[in-house]
Every structure is written in structure tokens, then in C-alpha cells.
């Protein structure tokens, strides 16, 4: 199976508001003594009303920018971002007037979420707001339109380079693609440093020491508690990652020679089949434990039956409908982008859009007839169904319980795409289920899900250091690679200096999209699946469970989604799973067969780096 590229972002209303909005706020409502003339409840009601109106135009602006990358749409997006920054700053200033008052818990939560309603707060200065908006728009545009060119007539886009990294096996060819793409980020380096200055200034004005502290405050716990929570989850899964790393390194040493892949050090970053070494499933053909056993060739079915992008999307919709969820609205099929237009530049990174407060659901993809893309569709519709489930919540609560929940919905559903399920819906002919086939499938999935975990954790950890000042612009690149070696055990094969800006070669950095959500989602998806399988009455190994067709599981799942961000995530998690803590032990349960296999393979090897 080819590599599953997980390049997507949940584009809920809350994320739109973090990017841009319209300036329709009123002046602060104050009385003769300088106090508020509205009650806190009245203020929240007004904020929600304004937010509802803002969402319509915000969605249109961002959709057009993502599907028509031009100078004109850049101007529109930048202006919208600037206007939202002004609106948000004014509303937060008004909200601070209610500090210290005894408030209804729902009102207090709404005020707190309003305060946290941007991923990059702008300073309360018109010129700086404009500058911040222009920087963000320009960096995202550079990334979206980025290319690596050998000559003026021989250029490769980002998505073409990603495919080349999946397919190539030549050491030098892979290195060329790897180095070439990173040139796209070099012009962003000074812009990014200025972006950090401006966003930190905005965060300071909201009462946070820096933007990283603000991001970490968005998890219904203190920043220190959240850092400890992330560290706990990583510690739970690190033994499995270490075994996988050791085995992969040994196999790459066999392919490229131990002179290029030393068996006592980190793995060269360009050899893992992915532009960012974040997922390694493109290497499966080199690592397949039992060749040819239990192959799941969905690609052939999609091509033989000539599935259209819309038919592939219908397949995903049918899964959610089998759980008792509604069909997607007609406008979804009319307004989504399913394929890459030939006449213009677009952002192909898959994303789900809940426009107009979740009443206008869409996906934006450039779909190919591959199992990888099919799984991305199943994932993205998870966002859409979440957006539709909480659309009746007030706008300030129209988001996930936390960012990880939003990513975990569709991820959980993909776990039910078992061989049995694929055979049942006609995407494969048979489903082998002996021990060797199980190990093969687990290896395939681990190269995707387990390989991702340290990368999912470190991207924001690097940014926390940047925002706090612990990592200065003079050490952006060095600190990035120090962290990647520490967590992932990888290293660049060629010298990287501070003339480069390798973090910017990852979409979520110039786009300023938090990445911790993906790390948390990779934990929650297995925790959710374990719960849903219990509800569905499944008895057996967790890795073989599909909840397809279980209305009981679907009812529980949808009820969790309907809550949106209306209560602390711990309350929502408890309703769903019976516990108030995120727990990565379900990952260990799921991959128990593979862990046994890896330990056997690594018995005579020296692991670690």
C-alpha cells in the first residue's frame, strides 16, 4: 500500500475565527462609572450573535482563498484576517470587564473561549494587525504555491514531491527531493520571526506570557498540567515506537548500507518515504513481515470499478449513516472540491469545512483512486459530522471538546476499516485473518500511526520554545533538528544551517495550525475505538473490531459530538468512555501482536540512538 499522507486541518468555525473574520463589533458597552452596561449573559449573547454573522463571510473568504490562490484572494484573506483581529481584540477587552464576577459556569466558559478564540492574537494596534495578517497570508500562500525546480521548465509541486518521496528508493534522488522542497521555506524565516514577535505581543495583551502559554491554556487545565499530560501519554507509547524504530533502521541498513544508515544512531530523515518523516508506511514493501500474506489491494478495486471521487466519498458517508447518523446535505455534493482544478492553483491539503455555523458542510481535496485517499475521506467526513452534530450549539461552543477530539472522530472510524469491513462493502474480495496476515496489517498501520506519534508531539513543543524565547531566531533550525533527533531518532543527511528554515517546510508552521491536536487524536482514536467496540458488544481482539452498522455505538459517538465545546473535555470524555483521563494503553492493546513480533526481530540488535 502506498503512503497515507495526513495533511489536513479541521476547518470548523472556531478555526476560521482563528484565521479571519469581519469587524462588526460595537464599541465597549460601559456605563457612567466605566462599568459594563450589559450583564455577562447579555454580552455573551451579543458575541454569539455577531459571531454567527461573521461566520458566513469568513467561510466564503477562506474557501475562495484556498481554492483560488491569486493575488486578489490574498488581499481578501489578509483584509478579513485583519478585521477579525480587531474585532477579537475589542471583544476580549469588553469580556475582561466581567473578571472577578460570580458567573454561570456556561457564561464563564464562553468568555474564556472567546479569549482563546484565535491562534494568533494581534496587538491592539492597527498597523501591527495589518502586518500580522499580511505575514500569515503571505507565508501560507508561499507554501501552497511552492515548487522545486531543476530548471525553469522542470518544476515539481509540493504534492508531486510528496509522491516522489513515496515512490523513489534511490538514496541521492530522495535527498534531492528532500533538500529541494526545503528551499520553499527559506524566504519565510525572517517573516516567521516577526510573526512570533507580533503574536506574542497580542498574547501578552490578553494576559498570557506568550503565545505558547495561550495555546496550552486551551485544554481545561493549566499549561504546566497540559505539558505533564502530553509527557505522560508519550511515555506510555514510547516503548512501542522504540521497537519500531530499531527494526526500521535495521531494514534500511540492509537496503542502503550501514555506512549510510549507522546501526547505533539516528536514521537519515530522507529515507523514510515521507517528506517530513512523519509517517513511514511508504516503506511497507521493504518491511512486510510475511510477503504477500493478507494483502489488501483496495487500489485495484477503485481503479477496476473506476470509482469517481464522489463515489469514494459516498462510501465514507455510508459508514457514518450505518451508525445512525444523517446523510450529508445536497449542498455538500454541490460545493465541495473533490479534484484538483486544471486552471488554477489551489491548496490540495485535505480539509473539512463547516461553513455557516455547520449548516454548509464541505470537503476540499484533490482525490486520487487510492486506498490512502479513501481513508483520508473517511477521516475528513469525521470532521464534517462533528461540525454538523454541534451546529445547534451557540457559536462560541461550535468546536471540538479540544482539538484532539476533532481529529480523533474520523481517525476512530478508519480503525473500523478492517479487512472484514472492506470485504463486506465490496472493496476487497476476501479477508485473510491468520496470524501472519494480522502482523502484516499491524506493521502497515504502525508505520503510519506509531511512527507519527513523536512528530505529532514535537512540532508544537518546538513552537512553545520559540514563543517563550527559549528558542531564539538564531537557533531555529538547530533546535528543530535537536528535537527531531531526541524524539524521532532521525537526522538530516546533509548539513543544515541557520540559513535554512526547515520547520517552515511543514504546512502547519507557516499556516499557524496547532499540531498537538494530531498527537492527542492518535491517542484518543484507540481509546474511543475500545469504548465503541465494547458498546457494540464486540468480543475479540481490538485490532479486528469494526463498529460498522452498530446504532448503539453510533448513538454514543454522536451524543459526544453534539456537546461540542460546551463543557470541559474531561466531562465529554467521561460521558463517552467512563474515564476523565486520556489513556494511551489502548494503543498498546491494539498493537500487542506487532509488539511481540518486533521484540523477536530486535532480540540481537542494539536499539536506541
Selected catalytic residue, list 50, 162, 243, 380: 380
**Rounded Cα–Cα distance for residues 385 and 562 (Å):** 10
**Rounded Cα–Cα distance for residues 608 and 373 (Å):** 33
Is 500 in the active site?
Answer: no
Is 208 in the active site?
Answer: no
Provide CB contacts within 8 A for 534, sequence distance 6+.
none
- As a dihedral over the C-alpha atoms of residue 434, residue 452, residue 216, residue 532, rounded to 10 degrees, the angle is -20
**Rounded Cα–Cα distance for residues 49 and 206 (Å):** 22
| H or E segment and range at residue 137 | helix 126-144
Closest by CA to 172, choosing from 270, 267, 284, 261, is 270
**Rounded Cα–Cα distance for residues 529 and 541 (Å):** 12
Is 380 in the active site?
Answer: yes
The DSSP string of 291-351 is: TTTT---HHHHHHHTT--HHHHHHHHHHHHHHTTPPPPPHHHHHH-B-S--SSS----SEE
Is 379 in the active site?
Answer: yes
Give the three-class secondary structure for 242: helix
Is 407 in the active site?
Answer: yes
271 sits in the region (left: phi over 0; alpha: psi -120 to 50; else beta) called: alpha
Polymer length in residues for the chain: 609
281 sits in the region (left: phi over 0; alpha: psi -120 to 50; else beta) called: alpha
Grid cell 548539513 is found at 495
Selected catalytic residue, list 247, 270, 383, 500: 383
Closest by CA to 494, choosing from 189, 170, 165, 171, is 171
User: Nearest 5 degrees, angle CA 180-CA 185-CA 188?
Assistant: 155
Helices (H), 145-210: 158-167, 171-182, 189-205
**Rounded Cα–Cα distance for residues 248 and 254 (Å):** 10
Selected catalytic residue, list 3, 88, 247, 379: 379
Cβ-in-10-Å burial (0-12, 13-18, 19+) of 299 comes to: middle
Selected catalytic residue, list 38, 131, 407, 461: 407
Selected catalytic residue, list 349, 406, 522, 543: 349
**Rounded Cα–Cα distance for residues 113 and 219 (Å):** 11
Is 406 in the active site?
Answer: no
Grid coordinates standing for 300? Answer: 485495484
**Rounded Cα–Cα distance for residues 380 and 414 (Å):** 10
Q: Is the Cβ–Cβ distance between 364 and 350 less than 8 Å?
A: yes
Selected catalytic residue, list 386, 518, 538, 558: 518
Give the three-class secondary structure for 489: coil
**Rounded Cα–Cα distance for residues 354 and 14 (Å):** 10
Q: Is the Cβ–Cβ distance between 81 and 19 less than 8 Å?
A: yes
Computed on alpha carbons and rounded to an integer, the radius of gyration of the chain in Å comes to 24
**Rounded Cα–Cα distance for residues 333 and 366 (Å):** 15
Residues designated as active site: 349-350, 379-380, 383, 407, 508, 518
Amino acid at each position: 500500500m502506498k503512503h497515507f499522507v495526513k495533511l489536513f486541518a479541521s476547518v470548523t468555525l472556531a478555526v476560521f475565527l482563528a484565521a479571519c473574520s469581519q469587524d462588526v463589533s460595537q464599541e465597549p458597552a460601559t456605563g457612567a462609572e466605566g462599568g459594563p452596561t450589559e450583564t455577562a449573559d447579555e454580552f455573551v449573547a451579543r458575541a454569539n450573535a455577531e459571531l454567527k454573522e461573521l461566520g458566513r463571510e469568513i467561510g466564503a473568504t477562506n474557501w475562495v482563498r484556498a481554492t483560488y490562490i491569486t493575488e486578489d484572494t490574498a488581499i481578501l484573506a489578509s483584509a478579513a484576517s485583519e478585521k477579525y483581529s480587531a474585532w477579537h481584540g475589542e471583544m476580549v477587552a469588553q469580556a475582561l470587564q466581567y473578571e472577578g464576577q460570580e458567573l454561570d459556569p456556561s457564561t464563564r466558559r464562553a468568555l474564556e473561549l472567546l479569549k482563546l478564540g484565535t491562534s494568533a492574537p494581534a496587538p491592539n494596534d492597527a498597523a501591527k494587525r495589518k502586518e500580522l495578517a499580511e505575514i500569515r497570508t503571505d507565508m501560507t500562500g508561499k507554501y501552497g504555491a511552492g515548487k522545486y525546480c531543476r530548471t525553469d521548465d522542470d518544476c515539481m509541486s509540493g504534492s508531486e514531491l510528496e509522491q516522489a518521496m513515496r515512490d523513489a528508493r534511490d538514496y541521492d534522488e530522495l535527498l534531492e527531493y528532500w533538500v529541494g522542497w526545503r528551499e520553499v521555506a527559506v524566504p519565510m524565516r525572517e517573516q516567521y520571526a516577526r510573526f512570533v514577535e507580533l503574536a506574542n505581543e497580542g498574547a501578552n495583551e490578553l494576559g498570557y506570557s506568550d503565545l505558547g502559554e495561550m495555546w496550552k491554556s486551551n485544554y481545561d487545565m493549566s499549561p504546566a498540567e497540559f505539558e505533564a499530560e502530553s509527557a505522560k501519554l508519550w511515555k506510555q507509547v514510547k516503548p512501542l515506537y522504540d521497537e519500531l524504530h530499531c527494526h526500521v533502521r535495521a531494514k534500511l541498513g540492509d537496503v542502503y548500507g550501514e555506512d549510510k544508515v549507522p546501526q547505533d544512531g539516528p536514521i537519515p530523515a530522507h529515507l523514510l518515504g515521507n517528506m517530513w518523516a512523519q509517517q513511514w508506511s511508504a516503506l511497507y514493501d521493504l518491511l512486510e513481515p510475511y510477503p504477500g500474506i493478507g494483502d489488501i489491494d483496495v487500489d485495484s478495486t477503485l481503479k477496476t470499478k473506476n470509482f469517481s471521487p464522489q463515489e469514494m466519498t459516498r462510501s465514507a458517508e455510508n459508514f457514518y449513516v450505518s451508525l445512525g447518523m444523517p446523510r450529508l446535505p445536497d449542498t455538500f455534493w454541490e460545493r465541495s472540491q473533490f479534484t484538483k482544478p486544471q486552471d488554477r492553483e489551489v491548496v490540495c491539503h485535505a480539509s473539512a469545512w463547516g461553513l455557516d455555523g455547520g449548516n454548509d458542510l464541505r470537503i476540499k481535496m484533490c482525490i486520487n483512486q487510492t486506498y490512502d485517499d479513501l481513508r483520508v475521506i473517511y477521516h475528513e467526513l469525521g470532521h464534517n459530522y462533528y461540525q454538523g452534530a454541534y451546529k445547534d450549539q451557540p457559536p462560541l461552543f461550535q468546536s471540538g471538546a479540544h482539538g484532539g477530539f476533532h481529529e480523533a472522530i474520523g481517525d476512530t472510524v478508519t480503525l473500523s476499516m478492517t479487512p472484514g469491513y472492506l470485504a463486506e462493502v465490496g472493496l476487497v474480495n476476501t479477508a485473510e485473518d491468520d496470524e501472519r496476515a494480522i502482523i502484516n496489517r499491524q506493521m502497515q498501520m504502525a508505520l503510519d500511526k506509531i511512527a507519527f506519534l513523536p512528530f505529532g508531539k514535537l512540532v508544537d513543543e518546538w513552537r512553545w520554545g520559540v514563543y517563550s524565547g527559549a528558542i531564539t531566531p538564531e537557533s531555529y533550525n538547530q533546535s528543530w533538528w535537536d528535537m527531531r533527533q531526541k524524539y524521532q531518532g532521525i537526522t538530516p543527511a546533509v548539513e543544515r544551517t541557520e540559513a535554512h528554515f526547515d520547520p517552515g517546510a511543514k504546512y502547519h508552521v507557516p499556516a499557524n495550525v496547532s499540531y498537538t491536536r494530531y498527537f492527542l487524536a492518535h491517542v484518543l482514536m484507540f481509546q474511543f475505538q475500545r469504548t465503541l467496540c465494547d458498546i457494540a458488544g464486540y468480543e475479540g481482539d481490538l485490532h479486528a473490531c469494526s463498529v460498522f452498522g452498530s446504532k448503539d455505538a453510533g448513538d454514543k459517538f454522536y451524543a459526544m459530538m453534539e456537546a461540542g465545546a460546551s463543557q470541559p473535555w474531561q466531562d465529554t470524555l467521561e460521558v463517552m468512555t467512563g474515564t476523565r483521563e486520556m489513556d494511551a494503553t489502548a494503543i498498546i492493546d491494539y498493537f500487542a501482536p506487532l509488539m511481540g513480533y518486533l521484540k523477536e526481530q530486535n532480540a540481537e540488535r542494539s536499539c536506541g540512538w
